[in-house]
Copies of this chain bind each other. A is one copy, B any other.
């Protein structure tokens, strides 16, 4: 086990198989040293979608868990892109975070929810996990996901 795998184990995270999209796109594309990863939705480890909407029942803590699920699936894609070796990730460059949200009074919770993914990146990669990001609301996400997050990553 390399250092990143040990941290994942210490965090109790078992990465799922990197999911394959069911359409004419792919989960990641490498261009130069950059890896563009497709938006990952909040699928739980048991394979069910964590759905919900801020302002209509989705609680902060559940939303953070949803963002963490997105992060775990982003990690699975990074691992697949790196031939299984996450130490080849040099930097998490950017996360694009969308939270399913009603308009009223949901703004302050949106960044806190995306922190569920941001915190995971730093827990796994340390300083190399610190990224730029946006965090915004969306009226509707694929399969009614609570959260969708895409990423740009620098790799060896």
What residues of chain A have their CB less than 8 Å away from a CB belonging to chain B?
Answer: 23-29, 31-34, 36-39, 53-55, 91-96, 98-103, 105-108, 110-111, 115, 118-119, 121-122, 129-145, 148, 150, 152, 154
Interchain Cβ contacts under 8 Å between A and B, 9 examples: A24-B129, A31-B33, A31-B93, A37-B132, A55-B140, A96-B96, A107-B140, A110-B141, A137-B138
Contact of A132 among B23, B38, B132, B142 (CB under 8 A): B38
Closest to A121 in B: B24
Question: What's the nearest-Cβ distance from chain B to residue A36, in Å?
Answer: 4
The answer to whether B36 touches A94, judged by C-beta atoms less than 8 angstroms apart, is yes
The answer to whether A134 touches B96, judged by C-beta atoms less than 8 angstroms apart, is yes
